[in-house]
Chains A and B, each alone.
Chain A
Amino acid sequence: MSKKQIASPEEVLDSFKNQFSNKITKGRIDRYPIGPSKHEMIQIWMTVDPSIFRDVVKHLMTFDKHAHFAVSSGYDIEDRIEIINHFSIYPGKKAREISINFIVPLPKSDPTMDSICDLIPGALISEQEKQEMLGIKVKNIPKNMRVFISDDFPEDMYPWRKDEMNADKMGRNLHENDKIPKPKMGADK
């Protein structure tokens, strides 16, 4: 497929499935009707094995040389941590952009994934954020430091997790901690 051609969403999904066969699962295309004339917003979702994640991003860049990396979000569920990377390709013309989301499940016993900062320099802050919020390790990250949480926060507490490593102990309910007692008004009696 030449770089100048614009591929349809089905062609994009099929190309990924053909290239990476069984390492890509659960691919689906969602179409949402938007606005009064109901034109479509297209989102492609794919579950990608962590070992081929870098190759998947390189393959994506064959469709659009400067794929736009928006953000990566994540959550933990049962015994794995799922990181979702949100990309979008083909801006520049009306209603042509397609959103592509890659879900990368990492086992909690070994949550490591590769960095893509050499392919897309703008991904640095997102990767640092996932490291400190969810406890994953990103290999070959250019700058390994905390970006949002201060340096004196405990090491093994990860705020977004729902299991035993969460940070609920660090939260304070200011309403309950108010030392001023709530007054009893005359109308109650």
Chain B
Amino acid sequence: MMPAETTEKSTYKIPIGPIHPALKEPVMFEFEVDGERIVDADVYLGHVHRTIEWTGMRRNPVQVLYLAERICGICSYCHPMSFALAVERIAGIEVPERAEYLRVVHAELERICSHTLWAGVAAHEIGFDSVLFLTWQVREKALDLTEYLTGNRITKAITQIGGVRRDITKDMVPKIEETLTFLKDNFGKLKKVFLDDKTFKMRSQDVGILTKKEALQLCAVGPTTRASGVKKDVRIDQPYFAFGELDFDYVTPDVLTGEVNGDVYDRIIVRLLEVKQSIDLIEQCVDILSGLPEGDIVAEPKVAKLLSQLKKIEGDGIGRMEAPRGEVIHYVKMDGNEHPYSWKVRAPTYNNILPWIPMLKGEQIADIPIVAASTDPCMSCTNRVGIVQNGKRSLFTNEQLHKLSVEKTRRLMQ
């Protein structure tokens, strides 16, 4: 914990972090506070550095796929897929058509699971725990479908360089359709709760605003930037897998409400509409897949032959994908050895951290959890916040900061 100090303008500096209320990963903030309003903010990173890129440069490409999967629990499909895209472009491997559609199905299923998880966490930060349980109950069905298709709920292990490892056969289709029907029926319920309920509107409208100009200059990605009106989505801008064949458009808040404010309410709208879009995309793909003939799902089924092929390639390549949180980009350089010469991973949250500073200026302390959670940082809950008031130091626990946020809801409701 850093020592706090008073300045001439009688503002106080509050350090928040590294282990943390509204975030799911350790990040350190320092807020300069005047009463209850935030005047300035600073970000420090680096508390969960796991030397993944250094480890990856000592493994062969098939092993690196599983290392990449464990970078993040929720984007656990996008990191190995981006790595596979980069290596396929270096080696010139052509992926069969059936595998491209299968890859789309799994990517959209992961997007549904991630956005419903986020919706529950956002409700919890406001203090609305009943909605947390309702949303996560809906998510359980999506996770059951993932387990049925891939063998595990979170670490899917379905990526292979040149395709996927498991197929969707005709007898699996009824279960997919049953889950999709359940999700569609419950989507209406969730939409009504999140978008029409008075509690959510009170806490989230005109809070944490990010203007379009700031979003473009700070290079924000994902739903955070789409909620400010910027049309950026890797699936449409530079299509990969089979997204070029499918029919969908950018999701910005004016699709539903007709205007763009860039506040927390707009981010809720964007994420819920994306869930609907994902359900639609999965349906399109399953229809197309049942029309395709049975075929290869991977370019080279014998893994030993694939490894000896990858030992000889040289060159560099880039893989870009749209994870639930934004753009994931991997850069790989191979030089004729088994291990990659260089591997760079960039998760979307690192571009979305700098926008926190303009979003939080002018807000109240009790709004920190919901604004920070609205950008959906890929991080996890924690302990203590140190607050200095009038020269006396006191420690707030996670429960106390959360209570501040809940009490504000009660005050506004009166």
Q: Contact residue range for chain A?
A: 35 or more
**Which listed residue, A32, A39, A73, A160, touches B331 by the CB 8 Å rule?**
A73
Q: Does A122 contact B238, Cβ atoms closer than 8 Å?
A: no
Chain A positions within 8 Å of B44 at CB level: 145, 147
Cα(A75)–Cα(B52), bound, Å: 15
**Which listed residue, A43, A99, A122, touches B218 by the CB 8 Å rule?**
A122
Binds A, one of B146-154, B275-283, B341-349: B341-349
Q: Does A35 contact B231, Cβ atoms closer than 8 Å?
A: no
Q: Does A71 contact B237, Cβ atoms closer than 8 Å?
A: no
Q: Does A75 contact B219, Cβ atoms closer than 8 Å?
A: no
Cα(A37)–Cα(B242), bound, Å: 9
> Min CB distance, A27 to chain B, in Å?
15
- A70-B239 contact in complex given A92-B231, A120-B217, C-beta closer than 8 Å: no
**Which listed residue, A73, A97, A123, A159, touches B344 by the CB 8 Å rule?**
A73
Interface of chain B residues 17 through 73 with chain A (CB within 8 A): 44-46, 49, 51, 53-54
Q: B367 in the interface, Cβ–Cβ < 8 Å?
A: no
Q: Does B240 contact A34, Cβ atoms closer than 8 Å?
A: yes
Q: Does B219 contact A120, Cβ atoms closer than 8 Å?
A: yes
Chain A positions within 8 Å of B351 at CB level: 122
Q: Which of A35, A121, A125: most chain B CB closer than 10 A?
A: A35
Q: Which of A32, A71, A96, A120: most chain B CB closer than 10 A?
A: A71
Cα(A91)–Cα(B250), bound, Å: 11
Q: B241 in the interface, Cβ–Cβ < 8 Å?
A: yes
Chain B positions within 8 Å of A122 at CB level: 217-220, 351, 354
Interchain residue pairs with CB less than 8 A apart (23): A35-B100, A35-B240, A35-B241, A37-B245, A66-B216, A74-B344, A75-B342, A88-B237, A91-B237, A95-B239, A96-B237, A97-B238, A99-B238, A99-B320, A121-B217, A121-B354, A124-B354, A146-B46, A147-B44, A148-B45, A149-B49, A159-B51, A160-B342
Q: A68 in the interface, Cβ–Cβ < 8 Å?
A: yes
Q: Does B54 contact A160, Cβ atoms closer than 8 Å?
A: yes
Q: A16 in the interface, Cβ–Cβ < 8 Å?
A: no
Q: Contact residue range for chain B?
A: 35 or more
Interface of chain A residues 95 through 118 with chain B (CB within 8 A): 95-97, 99, 101
Q: Which of B46, B237, B238: most chain A CB closer than 10 A?
A: B238
Cα(A148)–Cα(B27), bound, Å: 11
Q: Does A36 contact B329, Cβ atoms closer than 8 Å?
A: no
Cα(A74)–Cα(B343), bound, Å: 9
> Min CB distance, A75 to chain B, in Å?
4
Question: 6 tightest A-B contacts by CB?
Answer: A122-B219, A73-B344, A97-B237, A75-B342, A71-B346, A66-B216
A residues with a Cβ closer than 8 A to B are 32, 34-37, 39, 41, 43, 66, 68-71, 73-75, 84, 86, 88, 90-97, 99, 101, 120-125, 145-150, 159-160, 167, 171
> Min CB distance, A84 to chain B, in Å?
7
- A125-B350 contact in complex given A34-B239, A41-B238, A92-B231, C-beta closer than 8 Å: yes
- A95-B244 contact in complex given A35-B239, A125-B353, C-beta closer than 8 Å: yes
Q: B136 in the interface, Cβ–Cβ < 8 Å?
A: no
Chain A minimum-CB-distance residue to B350? A125
Chain B positions within 8 Å of A123 at CB level: 219
Q: Does B242 contact A36, Cβ atoms closer than 8 Å?
A: yes
Chain B positions within 8 Å of A90 at CB level: 237
Q: Does A101 contact B318, Cβ atoms closer than 8 Å?
A: yes
Cα(A99)–Cα(B100), bound, Å: 22
> Min CB distance, B226 to chain A, in Å?
11
Cα(A124)–Cα(B350), bound, Å: 11
Chain A minimum-CB-distance residue to B101? A36
Q: Other than A68-B219, A124-B354, A148-B49, give 15 A-B pairs with Cβ distance below 8 A.
A: A35-B241, A36-B97, A41-B239, A91-B231, A93-B237, A95-B238, A95-B239, A96-B237, A120-B219, A121-B218, A123-B219, A145-B44, A147-B45, A160-B53, A160-B54
Q: B333 in the interface, Cβ–Cβ < 8 Å?
A: yes
Chain A minimum-CB-distance residue to B340? A75
Q: Does A149 contact B46, Cβ atoms closer than 8 Å?
A: yes
Chain B minimum-CB-distance residue to A103? B316
Chain B minimum-CB-distance residue to A148? B46
Q: Which of B100, B219, B243: most chain A CB closer than 10 A?
A: B219
Chain A positions within 8 Å of B184 at CB level: none
> Min CB distance, A41 to chain B, in Å?
6
Q: B236 in the interface, Cβ–Cβ < 8 Å?
A: yes
Cα(A125)–Cα(B351), bound, Å: 8
Chain A minimum-CB-distance residue to B57? A160
Chain B minimum-CB-distance residue to A94? B236
Cα(A167)–Cα(B233), bound, Å: 37
- A73-B342 contact in complex given A86-B331, A99-B318, A120-B217, C-beta closer than 8 Å: yes
Q: Does A68 contact B243, Cβ atoms closer than 8 Å?
A: no
Chain B positions within 8 Å of A66 at CB level: 216-217
- A75-B341 contact in complex given A37-B244, A39-B239, A125-B45, C-beta closer than 8 Å: yes
> Min CB distance, B54 to chain A, in Å?
5
Chain B minimum-CB-distance residue to A30? B89
Cα(A146)–Cα(B28), bound, Å: 13
Chain A positions within 8 Å of B243 at CB level: 35
